[in-house]
């Protein structure tokens, strides 16, 4: 019965791509309050789409932050399984805007890729699911399984309100299993199912010195420079071997088995140097770049600022300096404990003459791992392989999807991470894009998968 | 004969303060090209004033950057000495603007202080000289000595064009001695003559990593983070004892004699902690805060930036990070050599996986010291003491005035540093101000001094 749906998707490809472009044109940047109205508009787009498809219930649920879209389709009958589909319609900021080759909110196709902020993360992949639902409804008049939809607008700012909603409305979102397409393949056209994700946490460090910027000639020699103090603190947290030098940071890390390290080495991966333009890769002493990215915790400074950043020179001792830090965690590590350890370290090494503030990132999540042999995973892998004509591989990835940990914790249901992005998509960066191959074959995969589920 | 001029200044005090306010209202920020027109307007203000006073020659000399105002008065006759008066009409940027209690370009008097950007550094002090010239001309019909005026608009950006002009036009600016009022007193109403200034140099370090910002989940573990690399570099340049750990940095430093250290300890100074709000002072191991600020070289990071600095979190590995560094030098040290040493150090410690760029600050100057017993200095001290009713003290200061070194080098003429600012003026910071006491007694000092010179 899936042929009709597949045919429909081919017939309507251009219209669907245009509709996706309309969706991508909405600058739903959740981290910047200036875009609040646009984020809201993106939610409305989904609400309208789901109603048009013919879902039984469609709700735009207001939260303390950005709205969440809930919808349910029960037409497959009581015996049919119910899937909870999760995705997010919010996107990362676009700066540095000057590095974009085309308007981030005006989707354009170049060399078989659709360029726009959110084309891969995650508006593009959310849209593919909706289009497949549309195809089944328009051709069969129903879906092969019952569906619950949960599409939020706060993933890029840590899904601040989602956890409470999932807890409070446990019955509403209850399902037999969950499917999430907010990840990528190990390589273009290489069917990939994630069986492991990293956890996430972070802190922001602010070093405060004088209560105003000082003339470096009059006060230099009497006052601790907050930027130098911050540099000493940061330099003490990770060494030149990429080893995190915060007491206890590795204590609970689940060691990588030789089997897993082998799997990771065999997993296809892009050439990091070629993809990023760096002179050479660096990774934790004793581990390869692949092992570190997939299976070892990381510590990154995402941003730093303090003092004069304008044109020319300004001879001051600045009054403060700030660094934003985030860590990716592996199975075994507890995010709250890691934050405590980071804070304790900062307070331990903070020099005299300044005061130090540590702000803890609200977003925190544990790492996630699932059993690759679960029947639902195997059906997904089979559909994936059929659509792409290539054997599906199973890998762990360095990214973090907090909702995965929360769904597991609250509902204890199997979660299938079925991602269609590629390593070249430039998520979170200028010139984000998504391959049209993934768009076509990804939808084909979903058509097969929904069809398989109810057999 | 100086009484009439003094009387004139008292009579016209309010008008002169209003005229000064008009001068301060021009936002002549030389480092920011957006203010180019205003910088030019500030030069015109001085040209007009000098013409009104009755100088024989008044020229606005265009440069590659901002104009320089030259003027000459020869009415005192060939036997009278000629003074070269140097000052600058450009000012520092005002950011962070939100910390100003009143508009930086709308002068207001609060608690006996005139608040405005440039009120102390250096527009206010330049204006005092012009007002004293006016007072003599209006009351005596001439000045007690011949005068050459050199007022530039690029001091806050390193006087980029001044050196070449002073060399090319050596005859035009030739004089018997130079007077500069671009400095401060050791304490309010404490007559102070600077007999030593620090030199100055700097570099800007940029660490380049990936050619675009990377998703920290996908690349964390394979790529060197430019901000961490920069932190390691900066932390390696000055240690927690405030000792600069760059090979050879102290090699040529002229050691402080016990006599000078005693003089520095005795020199009145503000309470650094009270004036800056820091928890405690820090200074180079083995030296007091006073000794370090007045007589030892310093290394400051004036600004740092890289990665995401906006609201919320952005989980990236940034493509680059930059730090602006400036040093204050003491007698014996060569600025160019120091830049070489800094660059060599950076290249030596730069870690693998990134590339490092070092940009050398164009502004550079050696430190300066003069003999306190020179007759011209002693006459200045006597006038100073007479006006303020307090014994003049002689100190060295941490600030740098490149032109001092250049005048010495090119003309080899004695230079009198006659500054009327106070440590509370907040130069280069929000809420810069200048005490009206200094305004009145400073002009009185100049009236006595010009009168003394020609005796």
DSSP-assigned letters across all residues of B135-181: HHHHHHSS-SSEEEEEEES-GGGT-TTHHHHHHHTHHHH--SEEEE-
Tokens, residue B202: 């700097």
Task: Taking residues A421-432, report their average pLDDT.
Answer: 93
Contact B302 A312 (CB under 8 A): no
Task: Taking residues B110-119, report their average pLDDT.
Answer: 98
Do strands B177-180 and B393-396 pair parallel, antiparallel, or not at all (unpaired)?
unpaired
Contacts of B329 in chain A (CB under 8 A): none
| pLDDT score of A401 | 80
CA distance B395 to chain A (A): 13
Contacts of B184 in chain A (CB under 8 A): 218
Which residue on chain B is closest to A276 by alpha carbon? B210
Residue B395: pLDDT band by 50, 70, 90 thresholds? confident
Which residue on chain A is closest to B240 by alpha carbon? A351
Task: Taking residues A271-298, report their average pLDDT.
Answer: 96
Tokens, residue A250: 């590795």
Beta bridge pairs of residue A193: A394, A418
Which residue on chain A is closest to B429 by alpha carbon? A213
Q: How many CB pairs under 8 A join A and B?
A: 356
Task: Write out the DSSP string of B419-448.
Answer: --B-GGG-TTSTT-EEEHHHHHHHHHHHHH
**Phi and psi at residue A181, to the nearest 5°:** -120, 75
Which residue on chain B is closest to A200 by alpha carbon? B217
Task: Taking residues B188-213, report their average pLDDT.
Answer: 94
Chain position carrying tokens 């993933």: A155
For the cut 80, the answer to whether the pLDDT of residue B154 exceeds it is yes
Contacts of B289 in chain A (CB under 8 A): 221-222
For the cut 90, the answer to whether the pLDDT of residue A390 exceeds it is yes
| pLDDT score of B51 | 98
Q: How many residues does chain A have?
A: 455
Contacts of A427 in chain B (CB under 8 A): 215, 218
Residue B105: pLDDT band by 50, 70, 90 thresholds? very high
Q: What is the pLDDT of residues A367-380, one digit of tens each?
A: 988 877 889 999 99
CA distance A426 to chain B (A): 7
| pLDDT score of B298 | 98
Residue B105 CA to residue A64 CA, distance in Å, equals 42
**Contact assessment for residue B247 and residue B341, using Cβ atoms and an 8 Å cutoff:** yes
Task: Taking residues A331-357, report their average pLDDT.
Answer: 97
Residue A43 CA to residue A62 CA, distance in Å, equals 10
| pLDDT score of A263 | 81
pTM of the model: 0.76
**Phi and psi at residue A103, to the nearest 5°:** -50, 120
Residue B1: pLDDT band by 50, 70, 90 thresholds? low
Q: Three-state DSSP class for B183?
A: coil
Q: What is the pLDDT of residues B236-266, one digit of tens each?
A: 999 999 999 999 999 999 999 898 898 888 8
Q: What is the pLDDT of residues B261-312, one digit of tens each?
A: 988 888 887 899 999 999 999 999 999 999 999 999 999 999 999 999 988 8
| pLDDT score of B400 | 80
Q: Three-state DSSP class for A69?
A: strand
Task: Taking residues A426-446, report their average pLDDT.
Answer: 96
Contact B313 A328 (CB under 8 A): no
Contacts of B360 in chain A (CB under 8 A): none
Which of A216, A238, A281 shows the shortest C-beta gap to B298? A216
Chain position carrying tokens 């391959």: A435
Contacts of B276 in chain A (CB under 8 A): 209-212, 214, 219, 223
Q: Three-state DSSP class for B16?
A: helix
| pLDDT score of A1 | 59
A259's enclosing H/E stretch is: helix A258-266
Domains of chain B: 2-197+367-454 (3.40.630.10), 199-253+297-360 (3.30.70.360)
Contact B305 A301 (CB under 8 A): no
- Cα-Cα-Cα-Cα torsion B206, B207, B213, B217, nearest 10 degrees, comes to -150
| pLDDT score of B375 | 92
For the cut 80, the answer to whether the pLDDT of residue B92 exceeds it is yes
Which of B216, B278, B293 shows the shortest C-beta gap to A209? B278
Which of B217, B313, B351 shows the shortest C-beta gap to A363? B313
Tokens, residue B277: 């709000």
Q: What is the pLDDT of residues B4-21, one digit of tens each?
A: 999 999 999 999 999 999
Residue A364: pLDDT band by 50, 70, 90 thresholds? confident
Residue A381: pLDDT band by 50, 70, 90 thresholds? very high
Contacts of B225 in chain A (CB under 8 A): 300-301
Beta strands in A153-232 (DSSP E): 177-180, 192-197, 199-208, 214-215
Contact B221 A398 (CB under 8 A): yes
Mean pLDDT, chain B, as a whole number? 95
Residues 6+ apart with CB under 8 A from B153: B28, B30, B39, B42, B43, B65, B66, B67, B68, B88, B89, B90
Contact B427 A218 (CB under 8 A): yes
Q: Which of B304, B354, B417 to mutate to test the interface with A (most CBs of A within 10 A)?
A: B304
Tokens, residue B422: 């106070």
Kindly report the number of other CB atoms within 10 A of residue A103's CB atom: 14
Do strands B393-396 and B192-197 pair parallel, antiparallel, or not at all (unpaired)?
parallel
Which residue on chain B is closest to A305 by alpha carbon? B305
Q: What is the pLDDT of residues A176-222, one digit of tens each?
A: 999 999 988 988 899 999 888 999 999 999 999 999 999 999 899 99
Contact B212 A431 (CB under 8 A): yes
Q: Which of B95, B221, B397, B402 to mutate to test the interface with A (most CBs of A within 10 A)?
A: B221
B219's enclosing H/E stretch is: helix B216-219
Residues 6+ apart with CB under 8 A from A163: A402, A406
CA distance B35 to chain A (A): 12
Beta strands in B225-379 (DSSP E): 298-307, 316-317, 320-329, 355-360, 368-369
């Amino acid at each position: 019965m899936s042929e009709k749906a597949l045919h429909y998707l081919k017939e309507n490809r251009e219209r669907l791509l245009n509709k996706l472009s309309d969706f991508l044109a909405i600058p739903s940047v959740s981290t910047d309050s200036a875009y609040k109205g646009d984020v809201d508009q993106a939610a409305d787009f989904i609400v309208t789409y789901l109603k048009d498809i013919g879902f039984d219930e469609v709700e735009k649920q207001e939260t303390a932050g950005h709205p969440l879209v809930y919808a349910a389709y029960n037409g497959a009958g009581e015996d049919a399984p119910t899937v909870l589909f999760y995705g997010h319609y919010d996107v990362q900021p676009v700066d540095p805007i000057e590095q974009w080759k085309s308007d981030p909110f005006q989707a354009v196709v170049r060399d078989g890729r659709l360029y726009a902020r959110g084309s891969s993360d995650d508006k593009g992949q959310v849209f593919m699911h909706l289009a497949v639902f549309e195809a089944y409804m328009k051709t069969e008049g129903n879906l092969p399984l019952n569906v619950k939809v949960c599409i939020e607008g706060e993933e890029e700012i840590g899904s601040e309100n989602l956890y409470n909603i999932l807890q409070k409305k446990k019955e509403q979102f209850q399902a037999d299993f969950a499917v999430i397409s907010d990840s990528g393949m190990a390589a273009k056209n290489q069917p990939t199912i994630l069986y492991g994700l990293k956890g996430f946490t972070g802190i922001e460090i602010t070093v405060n010195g004088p209560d105003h910027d000082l003339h470096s000639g009059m006060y230099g020699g009497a006052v601790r420079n907050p930027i130098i103090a911050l540099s000493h603190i940061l330099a003490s947290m990770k060494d030149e071997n990429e080893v995190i030098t915060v007491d206890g940071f590795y204590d609970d890390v689940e060691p990588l088995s030789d089997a897993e390290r082998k799997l990771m080495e065999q997993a296809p991966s892009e050439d990091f140097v070629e993809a990023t333009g760096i002179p050479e890769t660096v990774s934790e002493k004793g581990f390869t770049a692949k092992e570190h990215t997939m299976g070892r915790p990381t510590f990154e400074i995402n941003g730093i600022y303090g003092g004069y950043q304008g044109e020319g020179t300004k001879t001051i001792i600045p009054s403060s300096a700030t660094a934003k830090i985030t860590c990716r965690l592996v199975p075994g590590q507890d995010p709250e404990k890691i934050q405590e350890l980071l804070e304790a370290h900062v307070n331990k090494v903070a020099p005299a003459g300044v005061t130090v503030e540590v702000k803890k990132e609200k977003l925190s999540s544990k790492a996630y791992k699932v059993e690759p042999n679960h029947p639902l995973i195997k059906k997904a892998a089979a559909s994936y392989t059929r659509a792409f004509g290539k054997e599906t591989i199973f890998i762990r990835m360095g990214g973090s999807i907090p909702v995965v940990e929360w769904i597991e914790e609250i509902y204890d249901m199997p979660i299938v991470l079925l991602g269609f992005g590629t390593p070249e998509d430039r998520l979170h960066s200028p010139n984000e894009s998504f391959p049209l191959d993934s768009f076509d074959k990804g939808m084909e995969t979903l058509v097969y998968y929904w069809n398989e589920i109810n057999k």
